[in-house]
Structure 1
């Protein structure tokens, strides 16, 4: 693919003296990426870390936010400095990147759809146990998400996500305050210390890597464009927005670690993985603080799960629409001022809506028939491989002539992306090693 770094439309945007001032009123895509990235699995992983190790791994949760800041900032910087989407950058690296994304987005989306619908159904069934079966709650969540994203554009989507993030924030902070954190122990947890247990290094790396998002980090640049940020004049705004995103994520995970340390660790209560662990926590909260607190928590649990569902339904569908447009060779070559319009067209395009349907209806079959072993194994491997792929390709793109010189990586960006890539590569190898390959063959 030809390199468009020298496109004259980029020069004016790169040197634009009227750079937008960073302001809280512009915040938006960061809230979306934080809401989408923090799902039920992230909260449970943090709760389990707190219940198992107390405050010892608080520093790891904070480090996870810093790692993800570097990845999202790099994705946003690529979009704004080049006027090209992230998939456009991947396509310029060769067919291998294109085919990796194609395989990932098809298999991952199929299995993730079922997981996301199930996570949204769990708190609803707990709140309304006599209404219908868990599987039908899951189907309802998927269909509501489909209809919402199908008929609404980014502006409405962002507003709804912001409201749900507000619910998540209030619930998690309330719970953290309610369990009365031990402040000296909390502050001591910021020191980088490993638990004195077997596999403590891998457990710590897993917590760092599990904070806040996978493919949603790549979707961040697409949401930046959908917001109307299309050139380097928005760079300061994007960076503030990104920091707010992971400060918000940090509040969620630290609050849940406090709950795990104070409520579960002291009582020796172990939680199951995934959304079922949050249902268990609801029962513990009801026994300790009453039914009202438990229901309040379940509302926050639903907000967490549903934001992840509609966030993926919207963001990954944008990426898929971009992928199809490039595969067909029919992308509209926009000047930088036209990127918001291009994003709006993607939301109305048939590939966007086709991927929405793919995320919704085939996974419903998995809800009723169970998950094929081979598909689950491929899902786990591809999911583990995506973040090393993202970190590595961003390092490549942002240190090459594809990026205008003044917006290429500095020493800090390179160090953070290298650390992120190494971390996720280790976790990828562990994930592949832990798979039950006998079920595959």
Structure 2
């Protein structure tokens, strides 16, 4: 297919490939990676505190993620360039932000992800301490990603998505959700309670939303979708994935609402909150249902390890390639690069020190302040890029995409400012 001038307004959109269920994959990968233990906690706590009142917020959150992931995938397919190519075209300031962010984020996330994956394993198999299970999870993720390319990686991630969905959604059905209350929860109402507005915004913006949103385009390319003829298929893939994710987080809200709302139990807003729910399930329904939940919990946490180890390492390899003047390398080449494997090692071994010695306060502070900027950075730069001549005319943003990205950007800016205030006040 001939390459046209991206600024040619008369350029016609190429013929689109027909969407197929058999080709769905990259969206499930990004959804499984983005929904980790922290997202389960946030949704569970919302159900614990407010019942079904914030059901509408979980649905809106899934729509926000559809908008962001679609924009990322469309950039990769319409331009034939990676998202980091796009950021680089906006100026070197993007490199200045991205370099310290991805290094610090990787260190803290590695420890958090290993710890979260270890919790259900330690509960199911209390033969090893928590830190040992965490190290096993990190090293096994490293070995798997090191020796397998995207095709195998996608199949394994799809299995984890299936386990997550069947266990958690199955439990939500088993506890018999209150349909009437759920319908009332579709009304966009913010609970009348302290900090309820920020809880609502965080639920909309936080579930399934991390740096891995930007990795979607790399996984789309790894699938073999590398030009604009795949845009329709990418959109289908993306919607299926986030509808699945939406049902999953709604099921978590149902568990919080049905098992914990209007009780004296108040969950902690960390991974221990999920263990508390496992205890409640065991007390009320027996050990079997508790074990089923722990399996779903582990699947959510460990799939995030695999996804981050692969996807963010690809982004880091792309970043290093730009620094060295080697751009637009095939995904397969990036997977074999020293930068990809070096970042895998960084995600795995230095964070183990944090598992043993706890997290230094100053590092957590810097991580929180940098991390608060990433989602507004992603939303607003996509808004900028996809309305520019860098993108062929047929694939530039329409008003729906512009509204979606603008609302997302504004939401994340508010959350960013709130996070900064919280971090500064904790000094």
Same fold (TM over 0.5): yes
Alpha carbons 1:5, 1:402 under 8 Å: kept: no
Confirm or deny that 1:232 pairs with 2:240.
Answer: no
1:338 is matched with none
Q: Report how far residue 267 of structure 1 moved.
A: 2.4
1:115 is matched with 112
Work out which of the residue numbers 356, 367, 380 in structure 1 matches 2:344: 356
Q: Report how far residue 5 of structure 1 moved.
A: 7.9
Work out which of the residue numbers 43, 46, 55 in structure 2 matches 1:46: 43
Confirm or deny that 1:396 pairs with 2:384.
Answer: yes
- The TM-score with structure 1 as length reference comes to 0.93
Q: Distance between the aligned counterparts of 2:398 and 2:189, measured in 1?
A: 29
Q: Distance between the aligned counterparts of 2:385 and 2:325, measured in 1?
A: 21
Confirm or deny that 1:106 pairs with 2:103.
Answer: yes
The 5 A counterparts of 1:14-163 are 15-17=13-15, 19-129=16-126, 131-163=127-159
Question: Which digits, 9 at most, give the CA deviation of each residue in 1:101-122, with x for residues without a partner?
Answer: 1111001001000000000000
Q: Report how far residue 294 of structure 1 moved.
A: 0.5
Alpha carbons 1:54, 1:262 under 8 Å: kept: yes
Q: 1:198 to 1:69 in 2, by over 3 A?
A: same
Confirm or deny that 1:244 pairs with 2:240.
Answer: yes
Q: Distance between the aligned counterparts of 1:89 and 1:370, measured in 2?
A: 37
Question: Which digits, 9 at most, give the CA deviation of each residue in 1:264-283, with x for residues without a partner?
Answer: 00323211122111111110
Alpha carbons 2:6, 2:391 under 8 Å: kept: no
For residue 109 of structure 1, give the secondary structure of its aligned residue in structure 2: helix
Q: 1:161 to 1:438 in 2, by over 3 A?
A: closer
Q: Distance between the aligned counterparts of 2:243 and 2:13, measured in 1?
A: 30
Q: Distance between the aligned counterparts of 2:45 and 2:346, measured in 1?
A: 33
1:433 is matched with 421
Confirm or deny that 1:185 pairs with 2:173.
Answer: no
1:291 is matched with 287
Question: Which digits, 9 at most, give the CA deviation of each residue in 1:320-354, with x for residues without a partner?
Answer: 00111111002357xxxxxxxx0111111110000
Alpha carbons 2:82, 2:328 under 8 Å: kept: no
- More displaced stretch, 281-290 vs 265-274: 265-274
Q: Distance between the aligned counterparts of 2:133 and 2:405, measured in 1?
A: 40
Alpha carbons 1:50, 1:261 under 8 Å: kept: yes
Work out which of the residue numbers 296, 320, 333 in structure 1 matches 2:316: 320
Q: Report how far residue 437 of structure 1 moved.
A: 5.8
Confirm or deny that 1:276 pairs with 2:272.
Answer: yes
Question: Which digits, 9 at most, give the CA deviation of each residue in 1:357-379, with x for residues without a partner?
Answer: 00001101111112111110111
1:337 is matched with none
CA RMSD of aligned residues (A): 1.7
The 5 A counterparts of 1:380-419 are 380-419=368-407
Alpha carbons 1:222, 1:343 under 8 Å: kept: yes
Q: Distance between the aligned counterparts of 1:23 and 1:52, measured in 2?
A: 41
Q: Report how far residue 194 of structure 1 moved.
A: 1.2
Q: Distance between the aligned counterparts of 1:306 and 1:138, measured in 2?
A: 10
Q: Distance between the aligned counterparts of 1:268 and 1:252, measured in 2?
A: 25
Question: Which digits, 9 at most, give the CA deviation of each residue in 1:368-405, with x for residues without a partner?
Answer: 11211111011111111100000110011001111111
Question: Which digits, 9 at most, give the CA deviation of each residue in 1:16-35, with x for residues without a partner?
Answer: 33x21011111000110110
Q: How many residues align?
A: 424
Q: Report how far residue 198 of structure 1 moved.
A: 2.4
Q: Which runs of 5+ in 2 are unaligned?
A: none
Q: Distance between the aligned counterparts of 1:374 and 1:436, measured in 2?
A: 11
Q: Distance between the aligned counterparts of 1:330 and 1:184, measured in 2?
A: 57
- The TM-score with structure 2 as length reference comes to 0.96
